[in-house]
Amino acid sequence: QVQLVESGGGLVQAGGSLRLSCAASGSTFSRYAMGWFRQVPGKEREFVGGIDWSGGTSYADSVKGRFTISKDNAKITVYLQMNRLAPEDTAVYYCAFRSGLIAIPRWFEYDYWGQGTQVTVSS
């Protein structure tokens, strides 16, 4: 079992920044990849970006150049730095864990999920 605890959401004005954190605990991790997803009511959970076991990152086109994912292997923590936020970024953000090497942009490929954190961007 893996537990994921997110933090860092909140309310920010358009153009501002937020950093989300996702700390993992529980089972011993051999190799894993992490993803960030977001969801608004009535819509499917959307891939934001992910970080591979190797540290390679991938992003949705809508956030490329504005969002950055990083990780601290010692702390088993992943970060989502969000800059130049826009109202359309408003959503509940989730981190997700999957056993494997690659962060896959499909939510059903992930085994464990954080509780979600609300990000609201005002115009």
- What's the angle, vertex CA 6, arms to CA 40 and CA 21, rounded to 5? 105
Give pLDDT tens digits for 52-91. 999 999 999 999 999 999 999 888 899 999 999 999 999 9
Phi, psi of 43 (to 5 degrees): -125, 160
pLDDT-wise least confident of 45-49, 88-92, 100-104: 100-104
Query: How far, in Å, CA of 83 to CA of 89, rounded?
Result: 11
Cβ within 8 Å of residue 5, ≥6 positions away: 22, 23, 25, 114, 115
Average pLDDT over residues 100-120: 95
Q: How far apart are CA 9 and CA 32, in angstroms?
A: 24
- Residue 39 token pair: 């969801």
Average pLDDT over residues 27-42: 89
